[in-house]
A and B are shown apart, each in its own frame.
Chain A
């Protein structure tokens, strides 16, 4: 109470992606939120010149995970058969039932580089999935029984609250790419697919940590994290164990959320360690200090 007036709690809303942008550079988040610079996330990212991330999520990964998590879907029996090792490989199944039908329907609106790059990305993704499934022996024995415990509906929206102080809260919302469970080991794994090249790990990692934090809040289980770079055929994905994820959540997220709150609500860019390589590629290089001087 101040002057007898009731203080209303402050609710600041943000997304997981914006929080990860803040991890990359708080000034970039400020430019995005307060100056409308929507492409802030692209700064410093190296792609292979054929952007296809959204199409991959919507047209390939989501279709597969939805079919695998829904026993009444037409593809469910084939996936089950494939996981039991009684039919074509997972790659052939996805190629024939998801990838080629997608190409047939949408190729006229895409250029060939996008399609062939996506084909490479799908191969990387399928390899990562296959490796995960190989660690669940019961899946090959009785897929029909085990599949519901492995696949959960993909890309679910989760929300959680971070208390900035007694009367200010940051409400974070996000939609992860894929979460799979290994019932044989009692583990969960969060997959994040990135269509850009592997450069600064801190951004996709912080994004995955926030998702893991959201998942832990909803399920009580901290997943391990696997970040897959679709444009990096041949490079190992980054994998972080569940205990490692727990440790990183405890040590880093509070400070990050504090920065996000300050940037969005207080329009203040906290002091941070500059990544000179990123600054060199940034159109606001050398102006940001003046633009966001507290």
Chain B
């Protein structure tokens, strides 16, 4: 099974304001987008990141850009006591090894 990192052109994390962290996945092509889009469910995100569902703010596919974005509430706000990444950077790596099921041959 390919990994998400094999099909994606961009996988990144960044602050969306001081209270949220947002994850962007941009696929290399439309076919890959269609293939991985069903994986982005609340249930799966909570498996990839050990967070309760209440911390998921949104999961939004953006077909025109072959992209999927999801956003989490931060445990602590940017720069507050206990924060580990002021800019929300370097939090994306849990997505690298997400396994993408093989395409169904119809």
Partners in one complex: no
Interface residues of B (CB under 8 A from A): none
Interface residues of A (CB under 8 A from B): none
